[in-house]
Structures are given as C-alpha cells and as structure tokens.
Amino acid sequence: MLDVRGIQKVYESKDRTVEAVRDLTFTLPAGELACLVGPSGCGKTTLLKIMSGLLEPTSGEVRMEGQVVNGPPPGMAVVFQEYGRSLFPWMTVRDNVELPLKQKKLAPARRKELVEESLAAVGLAEAHAAYPWQLSGGMQQRVAIARAVAYEPHVLLMDEPFAAVDAQTRADLEDLIRDLWHRFQVTTLFVTHDIDEAVYLGQRVLILSNSPTVIRDDLAIDLPDQRDQLTTRSSPRFAELRARVYEQIHRSKDAAADADAEQPVAAGPVSGPAPAAPDHSGF
Ligand SMILES: Nc1ncnc2c1ncn2[C@@H]1O[C@H](COP(=O)(O)OP(=O)(O)O)[C@@H](O)[C@H]1O
Ligand SMILES: [Mg+2]
C-alpha cells in the first residue's frame, strides 16, 4: 500500500544546513496499523509531509498503491497535531467534515450519509451544528478524525494527534483509533513521541533514531488484538515491549551524544574543503 524508499531530507537555508532525515525505508501493507515513534526533532513531521506529498525529499521516493507521490495523493487523509488550526472556525462541525467530500465531488445524499456515519463513529452524533470553538480540545480532535474517516481514505496518516489533550481524553482517543481501525480497516501510520502510546496502539512499531534519522528497529507488537487501557497496559508483555522501545531510543540518544563528543578528535588534519557539518543544535 505504501512504500517508502531511501528517504533523505536536508533543509538548506543561507546559513544553516540540517539533515533532518538520513535514510528511511519501510513498507506498510494494506490494512496495517503501524506506529512510528521517535524523539522530538527527529524528523517525524518531515517524513509525514513527504509521505503526504506536501514536501519534496532530497532523495528517495514514496509510492502509494504503486504510484510515486509527488503531490497530495487522492486516497490519503492526514490528521495533524494542531486541531485548532486544522478546522475552520467559521464552519459548523458538519460543514468541516463535509468540505473534503465536496472537493471529492460526491453527491449530496452520499455526503450526508458519510458525515452522519463518521460523526456517530467518533461519538459526536449530537454535535453537527456546533462550531469548533464551542467544543473541547478532545472533541475538536474527534471532528478532525471524523473528517479524515468520512473521506474514506485508503491510507490515514496521523502526526502526534493527541499531544495536546489531557491524559484521560488521550486514552479515550487511543481506544477510538483502535475501534475505527477495526471497523474500517484503513491502512494507518500513527506518529508519536510517546512510547507507551506506540506500543498500545500498533500492530507494529517503527523506532526512529535521533536526527539525522534512520530506523533503529521494526518491532512486531504481539499483544492480543482486543486491547484495553487497564489490562493491556498492566500486562507483562506490554512492559517488555515498552522497555525494548525505550532502550532503543536511549541507545540512539547515547550514540548521538558520543558522536558529538568525538567530533574534535575525528576532525584531525583535512585536505581539501571540509564538508559542512550538519547543525544539530536544539536537540
Ligand atoms: N522548514 C524547515 N526548515 C529548516 N529546518 C527544519 C524545517 N522543518 C523542520 N526542520 C528541522 O528538521 C528537524 C526535524 O523536524 P521535525 O520533522 O519537525 O521533527 P519532529 O516532528 O520529529 O519533532 C528539526 O531539527 C527541525 O528544526
Ligand atoms: Mg512533529
């Protein structure tokens, strides 16, 4: 369904070159729910922008259903972290959810059906006529999720969608994602910096290193398919898996710190122009 090959992204500006992503390769089979976990600043959003055709990679390519992605693919929906900026405040909940369906040129009757079904699926059947600013953060993020689901995407990408909501709401929304995935079987890539969230949600967790980013591990999550916050999170297997992810992420941080410490020694005498060192300040 999705094929990510050798993705590298170097941001260049006048006085700064940042190699955000070095080399990312993975595939997502149809119907899979995979999580991508990595520390802040490791290039998760960069990767998602590339996968959704909003940003061009420096090298490598992304294919969706066999087609090279070089603009937003029609069968893909993306949910971003900042629900406050992704919903239009002057439109009702219903109109926000319906907008992409109009762009898809669906008939009014079908649009109405999809809006109703998706709002009911996220528990907002009563909120059609409300405006986003009349809703709590968690409810607004549900609207953004309903909008993505109504679109009937083949692939759903989510970029830290719950980072800005409180812990209880977050737990509810995590269960909502598993529930929607069971119902609609959409191929989903869920990006998070939260290790527990990645293990709880995914069938598989891809672990990213610090920037410049590579994949450190690709871990199958062999927890039972029926998960709940209490039983799953307190199971010994959950603890083992989260420890494994934690260890990988920390090893990668240590490796980055060692590399920084070694830099003056490694510099030595150079012949010819020295390559521009990527600027890792800030993380
Ligand atoms: N438009 C940009 N121009 C220059 N550098 C950028 C830009 N966007 C992101 N970066 C840098 O790329 C790195 C990865 O950023 P990002 O993809 O947002 O990481 P994450 O989502 O994992 O927190 C960071 O060092 C960030 O400062
Ligand atoms: Mg990000």
Say how far apart CA 232 and CA 3 lie, in whole Å.
30
**pLDDT recorded at residue 86:** 87
* Mutate which of 10, 13, 40, 46 for ligand 1 pocket (most atoms within 8 A of beta carbon): 46
Task: Map out the domains of the chain with their CATH numbers.
Answer: 1-75+186-260 (3.40.50.300)
Instruction: Identify the residue whose C-alpha is closest to ligand 1 atom 25.
Output: 41
Ligand closest to the CA atom of residue 42? 1
Helix (H, G, I), strand (E, B) or coil at 226: coil
Q: What is the DSSP string of 177-199?
A: HHHHHHHH--EEEEEES-HHHHH
Asked whether the beta carbons of 77 and 68 are under 8 A apart, the reply is no
The pair of structure tokens assigned to 72 is 């937003």
Residues with CB under 6 A from ligand 1: 11, 18, 20, 38, 40-46, 211, 282
Q: How far is the CA of 242 from the centre of ligand 1 (A)?
A: 26
Residue ID of nearest Cα to ligand 1 atom 1: 11
Q: pTM for the full model? A: 0.88
Q: Please report which helix (H) or strand (E) contains residue 83, including its range.
A: helix 83-86
Ligand number nearest CA of 37 is 1
Calculate how far, in angstroms, residue 87's C-alpha sits from the geometric centre of ligand 1.
23
* CA dihedral of residues 24, 72, 154, 126 (deg, nearest 10): 120
d(CA 5, CA 35): 18
Is 18 in contact with 279 (CB distance < 8 Å)?
yes
The pLDDT score that the predictor gives to residue 66 is 94
- What pLDDT is stored for residue 274 in this prediction? 43
What is the residue-level pLDDT of the chain in tens, covering all 283 positions?
Answer: 999 999 999 999 888 999 999 999 999 999 999 999 998 899 999 999 999 999 999 999 999 999 999 999 999 999 988 877 889 999 999 999 999 999 999 999 999 999 999 999 999 999 999 999 999 999 999 999 999 999 999 999 999 999 888 899 999 999 999 999 999 899 999 999 999 999 999 999 999 998 889 999 999 999 999 999 999 999 999 999 999 999 998 887 777 777 766 655 444 444 444 444 444 433 3
Q: Distance between CA 55 and CA 72 in Å, rounded?
A: 10
Half-sphere exposure in the Cβ direction for 76 (13 Å, CA)? 24
| pLDDT of the residue at 263 | 57
Q: Which atom of ligand 1 is nearest to the CA of 48?
A: 17
